[in-house]
């Protein structure tokens, strides 16, 4: 039986770490693609050379072109440029400029991927996340079920981590979910958060909980403040959780950026909601019963996503 094959476009920190987690779990053969050929080939070779020590036996290759990616089961798209300060002016590029730049990069990637792996499930990690999902959907021509954005898995992981740290308990016993767009308007749901089934509000004061929610919302910024660039271990782990759910047809319920057609009152918009992920990609969207406050926060998040999507011009 042939092994599964996963292509990762973008061999930067997130892409390379995705390859690392996939190899460590022995999930699939991996193809790393990057416009900087040496980066893809070098990291792929380095990772392959760790196989005899870490006991995984996979084909791991790097390439500049897409021929090697043909027939991939899942393609992870991390390509794009981050928001970097201009060394001369000290200014960051405007959001619109960043969106347009990444639209061009991600659009080109999407067309190549669709040509070589027409049956793949595409998992989008490039930022601004929700808007880039629209680009991949448009440019690949794939059905929306096979274009999924990774954000909720990461945001939920951060939320659970901070709760476990505060309470001094295992992260395995924290159950919760974060909805909405990836950014300052994300929607953690404390009403649906528990520790081994015990509602979180029975275990910590409200102001402590609200501080954790705020820390979750600015979780990416906290890492950037410490490192000087974006985090990559947790984003890659959140991505690989989704890759594994698809490859193994696990029917995992993972908060993901998915294309909504009327669910939660939104139509034609990618936003983070609970979704069942399996071999077909998004197999079902779960509609939670949100109270007025939660729905208002999700509406606010959706509005923020719409304002970025409008820049794309589709």
Residues annotated as catalytic (active site), given as ranges: 182
How crowded is residue 124: how many other Cβ atoms within 10 Å of its Cβ? 32
Residue that is written with structure tokens 């609200």 in the block: 210
Helix (H) or strand (E) holding 256: strand 252-261
Per the DSSP assignment, residues forming a β-bridge with 61 are: 31
Q: For residues 294 and 289, what is the distance between their CA atoms, to the nearest angstrom?
A: 9
Which residues are paired to 275 by β-bridges?
A: 254, 285
Distance of alpha carbon 147 from alpha carbon 139, whole angstroms: 11
d(CA 59, CA 2): 12
Distance CA 177, CA 152 (A): 8
CA distances from 238 to 15, 67, 145, 187, 191 (A): 12, 27, 19, 17, 23
At 147, is the secondary structure helix, strand, or coil? Answer: strand
The structure tokens listed for 245 are 């759910």
């Amino acid at each position: 039986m042939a092994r599964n094959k996963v292509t990762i476009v973008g061999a930067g920190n997130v892409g390379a770490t995705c390859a690392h987690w996939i190899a460590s779990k022995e999930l699939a053969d991996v193809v790393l693609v990057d416009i900087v050929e040496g980066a893809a080939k070098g990291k792929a070779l380095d990772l392959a050379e760790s196989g005899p020590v870490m006991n995984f036996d996979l084909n791991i290759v790097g390439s500049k072109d897409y021929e090697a990616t043909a027939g991939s089961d899942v393609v992870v798209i991390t390509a794009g440029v981050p928001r970097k300060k201009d060394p001369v002016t000290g200014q960051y590029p405007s959001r619109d400029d960043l969106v347009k730049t990444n639209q061009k990069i991600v659009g080109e990637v999407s067309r190549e991927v669709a040509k070589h792996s027409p049956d793949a499930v595409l998992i989008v990690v490039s930022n601004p996340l929700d808007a880039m999902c629209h680009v991949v959907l448009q440019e690949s021509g794939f059905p929306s079920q096979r274009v999924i954005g990774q954000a909720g898995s990461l945001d939920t992981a951060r939320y659970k981590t901070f709760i476990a740290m505060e309470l001094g308990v295992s992260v395995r016993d924290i159950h919760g979910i974060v909805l909405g767009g990836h950014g300052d308007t994300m929607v953690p749901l404390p009403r649906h958060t528990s520790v081994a089934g015990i509602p979180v509000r029975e275990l910590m004061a409200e102001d402590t909980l609200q501080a954790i929610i705020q820390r979750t919302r600015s979780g990416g910024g906290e890492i950037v403040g410490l490192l000087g660039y974006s985090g990559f271990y947790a984003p890659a782990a959140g991505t690989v959780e989704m890759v594994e759910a698809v490859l193994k047809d696990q029917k995992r319920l993972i908060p993901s950026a998915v294309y909504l057609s009327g669910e939660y009152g939104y139509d034609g918009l990618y936003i983070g909601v609970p979704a069942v992920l399996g071999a077909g990609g998004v197999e079902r969207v779960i509609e939670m019963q949100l109270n007025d406050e939660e729905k208002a926060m999700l509406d606010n998040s959706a509005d923020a996503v719409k304002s970025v999507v409008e820049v794309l011009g589709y």
